[in-house]
Amino acid sequence: MKYLILSTSLALAVFSVANLVIGESLSKEYVGSEACKDCHVHNYENFMRYASKSRSDKNVLLMLDKLTPSEQKECYECHTTGYGKPGGFVSFEETPELGHAGCEVCHGPGSEHALSGNPDLIIGRLTIEKHCSPCHEDERVRNINYKPLLHSGAH
């Protein structure tokens, strides 16, 4: 019995180490921009002041009453943080802190990184195709010619 418990916890330990090594985890969740503030004051303040993403909830809230539930869901896909994903936006009542398109729409779910500060646990290098196109029309993105756009709209 003792041996069984020991080998089970050993297997678990090996499993978690393996997860850490490949930088992936089953438990990466969305936590919201506010959770990034303490360690990235400059990025956070610039983002909240200048990026229209930080106010993208207001644009949806203004029209919410006139939209059907399925139209509302469509808006949430692009205008909120992590809609339909672990830890992500549920509704303006339940998860107001995820109501805007925050840091994690570009950098990915940040729960593990925010706990450890380990840069390997967050997406640092971004590409237009992978990280912007899900929400921004390709043509428009290409017209502005990639690079400046990659660094704007953020911080």
Closest distance to ligand HEC from the beta carbon of 103 (Å): 3
**Binding of residue 41 to ligand HEC (CB under 6 A):** no
Distances (CA, A) of 26 to 86, 91, 109, 113: 10, 24, 11, 13
Region near ligand HEC per CB under 6 A, out of 5-13, 18-26, 90-98, 111-119: 111-119
**Separation between Cα atoms, residue 52 and residue 58, nearest integer Å:** 10
Q: Does 74 bind ligand HEC (CB under 6 A)?
A: yes
Q: Which of 125, 139, 145, 147 binds ligand HEC (CB under 6 A)?
A: 125
Work out how close the CB of 22 gets to ligand HEC at its nearest, in angstroms, rounded to a whole number. 15
Task: Tell the residue number behind the tokens 């450890």, with chain if given.
Answer: 116
Which of these, 108, 113, 110, 98, lies nearest to 53 by C-alpha position? 98
CA 123 to chain centre: 10
The nearest distance, CB 84 to ligand HEC, in angstroms, is 11
Measured CA to CA, the distance from residue 91 to residue 80 in angstroms comes to 10
Separation in Å, CA 105 to CA 12, 30, 55, 70, 132: 31, 9, 14, 21, 9
Under the binding rule (CB under 6 A), the answer on residue 51 touching ligand HEC is yes
Instruction: Kindly state whether residue 65 participates in binding ligand HEC, applying the rule CB under 6 A.
Output: no
147 binds ligand HEC (CB under 6 A): no
In the complex, the residues that contact ligand HEC under the rule CB under 6 A are 31, 33, 35-36, 38-40, 43-44, 47, 51-53, 56, 59-60, 63, 67, 71, 74-75, 77-79, 101, 103-107, 110, 113-114, 117, 119, 122, 124-126, 131-132, 134-136, 140, 149-155
